[in-house]
C-alpha cells in the first residue's frame, strides 16, 4: 500500500467522523429547542389544585389559547414533538364574542431541513500489487523487426536519461560494422520512438537492436559478441535485466542476406550526347523544372510528398555535380537511377523517370541507351519495368518487406 493510498483512507475516515459529529450536534440543538418551546409559561388547567369555573367571554378575549402537550419523550430516543389543536372548543356558542376573533399566538414551525452535504475525498482502492504507470505494447516493426535485428529488451527500475544511455557504451559500439538502433518508450505520448543523440526523455523501457544485414553483407560473430557484452555492461550500469533472444543469430542473418541479394537491383537509364556536350546550366534548369533538387552527394534527386527519394540524376562521367561547377561544367552523358528495393510503387516511378529522361533527350539532343550504348526502345523499357522492377518488388511484398518500407530502407543501406 502506497503513502498516497494510506493518506486518502485517513482523509475519508476523518470526513465520516466529522459527518457523525455534525449529526449529533444538530440532534442535541433541536432537542433543546423543542424542550424550550414545550415548557408551559402559565398554570396548566389539567394540573391545578381544584376545578375552576368556566371563563367568561371577556376572559376568553384577554387570555391566550391553551396548548395541550403530550408527555415529553425520553432523552435517549429522538421523537418529533406533536402539537394538538391550537383553537380549543369553547363551552358554548353564546360565549363566543360576536366581533372579536380569538387571537392565535405565533408558534415556531419546525422544518426538517436536510443537512448540508459534506464533501469527502475519494478513497483509492487498495490493490495487492502496484500496477505500472503506463502499459507499453510491442515495438512497431517499422522501428525494430525481430527478423532483421538482434533485439535486447531492458526494463529499468528508475527512469534514466536517454542521453546517458546512448553515451554509456558508445566507444565500444563504434567498433561494430552494423548499425545499432535505439528505441525507448515515451510515457507522455505512450508511444515507442527512435532515440536521437539529443533526446531529452527519461526512460524506463528500452529496446536496442543490432541490424543483422545491410548492403555490406551479414553480421559477423565478432560483432554479435561485442554487442552482447556491451548490452550486459549497460544493464549492469542501469541495474536492469537484459533480455536477449536465444535464436540462431548468424543463421538468421545469412538467410536474410540471401533474400536481399535476389532483389537488390538498381536500374539506370543512360542519356548520351549525339554531338556537342551537355552544358551544366541546361542540365540544372531541366532538373529543377522536373522537381529535382541538387544534394551534397552531387546528385539531383526527386522526392515524393513524404520526403522519400524516388530517383536521381548523376553525371555519366566521374565528376559529381555541384552548384558552383554547374556554371561552367560540360558532360557527354547523364544517368537516371532508380533503387528498386528502396522505392515504393516502383513500376509507376520508373514510368515517370522514363518520361523525364525522354524530355531531357529531346531538349539536349541526346539519346537514351543501355549499358552497351545501344538505343532503348519502348518495348525494352516495358520489359525492364516488368522484369526488373515489378517482379522483385512483388517478391519483397510476399516476404513481408515491401519496397520502400522502413524495414527495406534499413536493409538496403
Domain ranges of the chain: 3-95, 149-260, 264-411
In sequence order, what are the beta bridge partners of 315?
A: 334
Helix (H) or strand (E) holding 171: helix 170-173
- Rounded to whole angstroms, what are the CA distances from 95 to 54, 104, 252, 346? 10, 18, 120, 119
Q: Who's near 261: CB < 8 A, 6+ residues apart?
A: none
Q: Are strands 191-194 and 149-161 parallel, antiparallel or unpaired?
A: unpaired
Q: Is the pLDDT of residue 132 over 90?
A: no
CATH of domain 149-260: 3.30.70
Q: 283-341 pLDDT, tens per residue?
A: 999 999 999 999 999 999 999 999 999 999 999 998 899 999 999 999 999 999 999 99
Written as one string, the DSSP assignment of 222-284 is HHHHHHHHHHHHHHHHHT-EEE---S-HHHHHHHHHHHHHHH--EEEEEEEESSSPEEHHHHH
Across the range 181-208, mean pLDDT stands at: 95
% of the chain exceeding 70 in pLDDT: 74
User: Do residues 357 and 365 make contact, with C-beta atoms less than 8 angstroms apart?
Assistant: no
Q: Domain 264-411 belongs to what topology?
A: Cell Division Protein Zipa; Chain: A, (3.30.1400)
Q: Is the pLDDT of residue 19 over 70?
A: yes
pLDDT-based confidence at 210, cuts 50/70/90? very high
Q: 358-408 pLDDT, tens per residue?
A: 999 999 999 999 888 899 999 999 999 999 999 999 999 999 999 999 999
Written as one string, the DSSP assignment of 99-157 is S-PPP---------PPPPPPP-PPPPPP-SSPPPSS---PPPTTT--TTTEEEEEEEEE
- Provide the 8-state DSSP code for 73: P
Q: 91-114 pLDDT, tens per residue?
A: 444 444 444 444 444 444 444 445
Amino acid at each position: 500500500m502506497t503513502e498516497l493510498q494510506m493518506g486518502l483512507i485517513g482523509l475519508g475516515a476523518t470526513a465520516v467522523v466529522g459527518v457523525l459529529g455534525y449529526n449529533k450536534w444538530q440532534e442535541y440543538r433541536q432537542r433543546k429547542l423543542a424542550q424550550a418551546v414545550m415548557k408551559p409559561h402559565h398554570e396548566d388547567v389539567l394540573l391545578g389544585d381544584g376545578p375552576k369555573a368556566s371563563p367568561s367571554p371577556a376572559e376568553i378575549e384577554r387570555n391566550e389559547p391553551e396548548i395541550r402537550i403530550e408527555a415529553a419523550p425520553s432523552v435517549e430516543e429522538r421523537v418529533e414533538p406533536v402539537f394538538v389543536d391550537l383553537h380549543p372548543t369553547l363551552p358554548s356558542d353564546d360565549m363566543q364574542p360576536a366581533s372579536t376573533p380569538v387571537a392565535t399566538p405565533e408558534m415556531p414551525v419546525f422544518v426538517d431541513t436536510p443537512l448540508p452535504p459534506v464533501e469527502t475525498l475519494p478513497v483509492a482502492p487498495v490493490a495487492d500489487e502496484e500496477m505500472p504507470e503506463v502499459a507499453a505494447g510491442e515495438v512497431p516493426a517499422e522501428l525494430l523487426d525481430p527478423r532483421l535485428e538482434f533485439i535486447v529488451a531492458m526494463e529499468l527500475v528508475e527512469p534514466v536519461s536517454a542521453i546517458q544511455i546512448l553515451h554509456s557504451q558508445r566507444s565500444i559500439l563504434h567498433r561494430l560494422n552494423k548499425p545499432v538502433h535505439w528505441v525507448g518508450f515515451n510515457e507522455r505520448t505512450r508511444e515507442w520512438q527512435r532515440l536521437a543523440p539529443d533526446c531529452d526523455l527519461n526512460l524506463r523501457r528500452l529496446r536496442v537492436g543490432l541490424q543483422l544485414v545491410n548492403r555490406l553483407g551479414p553480421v559477423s560473430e565478432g560483432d554479435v559478441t561485442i554487442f552482447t557484452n556491451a548490452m550486459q555492461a549497460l544493464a549492469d550500469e542501469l541495474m536492469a535485466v537484459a533480455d536477449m533472444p536465444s535464436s540462431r543469430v548468424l543463421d538468421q542473418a545469412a538467410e536474410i542476406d540471401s533474400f536481399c541479394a535476389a532483389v537488390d537491383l538498381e536500374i539506370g537509364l543512360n542519356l548520351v550526347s549525339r554531338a556537342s556536350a551537355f552544358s551544366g546550366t541546361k542540365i540544372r534548369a531541366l532538373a529543377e523544372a522536373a522537381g529535382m533538387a541538387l544534394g551534397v552527394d552531387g546528385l539531383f534527386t526527386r522526392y515524393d510528398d513524404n520526403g522519400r527519394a524516388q530517383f536521381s540524376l548523376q553525371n555519366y562521367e566521374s565528376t559529381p555535380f555541384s552548384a558552383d561547377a554547374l556554371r561552367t561544367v560540360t558532360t557527354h552523358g547523364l544517368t537516371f537511377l532508380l533503387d528498386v528495393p528502396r522505392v515504393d510503387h516502383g513500376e509507376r516511378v520508373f514510368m515517370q523517370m522514363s518520361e523525364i529522361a525522354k524530355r531531357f533527350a529531346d531538349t539536349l539532343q541526346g539519346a537514351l541507351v543501355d549499358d552497351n550504348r545501344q538505343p532503348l526502345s519502348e518495348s525494352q523499357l516495358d520489359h525492364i519495368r516488368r522484369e526488373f522492377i515489378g517482379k522483385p518488388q512483388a517478391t519483397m511484398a510476399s516476404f513481408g518487406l515491401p519496397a520502400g518500407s522502413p524495414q527495406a530502407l534499413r536493409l538496403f543501406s
